[in-house]
Amino acid sequence: MYAQSLNQQVEGTTAPEDAEAAARFQARVDAEERIEPNDWMPAAYRRTLVRQISQHAHSEIVGMLPEGNWITRAPSLRRKAALIAKVQDECGHGMYLYAAAETLGVTREQLVDELLAGKAKYSSIFNYPTLTWADIGAIGWLVDGAAIMNQIPLCRCSFGPYSRAMIRVCKEESFHQRQGYEIMLTLARGTAAQKVMAQDALNRWWWPCLMMFGPPDAQSQHSDASTRWKIKRFSNDALRQKFVDATVPQAHFLGLTLPDPALRFNEATSHWEFGEIDWTEFKQVLAGNGPCNRDRMAARRAAHTSGDWVREAAQAYAAKERARSAAAAGAA
């Protein structure tokens, strides 16, 4: 599960005639009341949420692809069953999130079309390939770990449907990270070749995971309104630091090293300090130039197109049944 802080800039401002309603709205948010779909809300709040929740949903759906790659090649039935369950969960999380976005007045079809047309963004992390089985361990441990850091505060988001979806997601998510870490631990305690494989996966996923938290606070122009509206509770950098602090000792327990020569523990602050993130890479991946962007979109489009006949047949059958029961009612 994979919330990411990207592209959250807020468009426009509240029209002056709404000033009174806006003040009432902000007072409710400040009082930690949840805003529900039929409540008055600033247009920019609605747009921000539609964008963020739908990006989040798209990320869940695209996120099935890198892991799905290994379902047929999982090393045991136990691993395979767990991986299938995890991928099913990601699909479910996408569904919860689309439904939450739809309460804001957009249709599922619109949202899916935007993704397939390449107009909507999804988390940059899924544009990296899963080259070995160890990547499945690294994804569960690191990608889901990073996502959980992001998502726990979203359970208290001011928008009721989003917060309820996140509570459900977070509950289901806790097994994902543990299954990933268990895979890493097994490999790290395995043969020399398995340990090399685990280290290689960690080396490749570490920096992209740190990028999942979004641009540094100094560069993110958009957090103010989201923070004021209590959509965002912690800054990108604060969450990133939290993730690093939690994860570095877990890597050490595995007997693996982190691919960052600058990494060091600061006794004074009790935080792990880390090196410079390559934001050029992040921007390139977001711009569509990551290792797998084209593959991911092609796979989504192919899946959608090959499912067309199923949706059409289901609709046609439903229409026929409606017609039949109308005819039966008419005859009676």
Partner 1 sequence: MSTPTTPLWEVFIRSRTGLAHKHVGSLHAADATLAVQAARDLYTRRGEGNSVWVVPSSAITASDPNDKGMMFDPADSKVYRHPTFYEVPDEVGHM
Which position among 174, 227, 289, 315 is part of the footprint of partner 1 (CB under 8 A)? 315
Q: Which one of the spans 190-198, 261-269, 291-299, 306-314 is the region binding partner 1 (CB under 8 A)?
A: 306-314
Of 216 and 307, the one with the shorter C-beta distance to partner 1 is: 307
| Least distance in angstroms from the C-beta of 169 to partner 1 | 11
Tokens 């005819």 belong to: 327
Contacting range for partner 1; rule: CB under 8 A; set: 102-110, 183-191, 239-247, 250-258: 102-110
Nearest residue to 3 via CA among 224, 239, 300: 239
Site string for partner 1, 250-289 (x = CB under 8 A): ----------------------------------------
Distance, C-alpha 51 to centroid of its chain: 13
By CB under 8 A, residue 92 contacts partner 1: yes
Q: Which stretch binds partner 1 (CB under 8 A): 65-73, 132-140, 162-170, 246-254?
A: 162-170
SS3 at position 119: coil
**Least CB distance to partner 1 at residue 307 (A):** 11
Q: Does 108 bind partner 1 (CB under 8 A)?
A: yes
* Measured distance CA(158)–CA(52) in Å, rounded: 13
CB neighbours of residue 236 within 10 Å: 22
Q: Give φ, ψ of 272 to 5 degrees.
A: -85, 125
Distances (CA, A) of 170 to 38, 148, 178: 25, 7, 13
Give rounded-to-5 percent helix, strand, coil for the chain: 70, 0, 30
Shortest separation between residue 107's beta carbon and partner 1, angstroms: 6
| Other Cβ atoms within 10 Å of 39 Cβ, number | 13
For helices 160-188 and 77-102, the axis angle rounded to 10 degrees is 160
Eight-class DSSP state of 69: T
Cβ proximity to partner 1: between 279 and 317 the closer is 317
Q: Which stretch binds partner 1 (CB under 8 A): 2-10, 180-188, 294-302, 313-321?
A: 313-321
Q: Is 96 in the site for partner 1 (CB under 8 A)?
A: yes
Stretch that binds partner 1, among 24-32, 100-108, 214-222, 240-248 (CB under 8 A): 100-108
Is the four-CA dihedral 142, 288, 67, 165 of positive or negative sign? Answer: positive
Interacting residues with partner 1 between 170 and 189 (CB under 8 A): 172
The contact set with partner 1 (CB under 8 A) reads: 36, 38-40, 85, 88-89, 92, 95-96, 99, 102, 107-109, 113, 164-165, 168, 172, 308, 311-312, 314-315, 317-318, 321
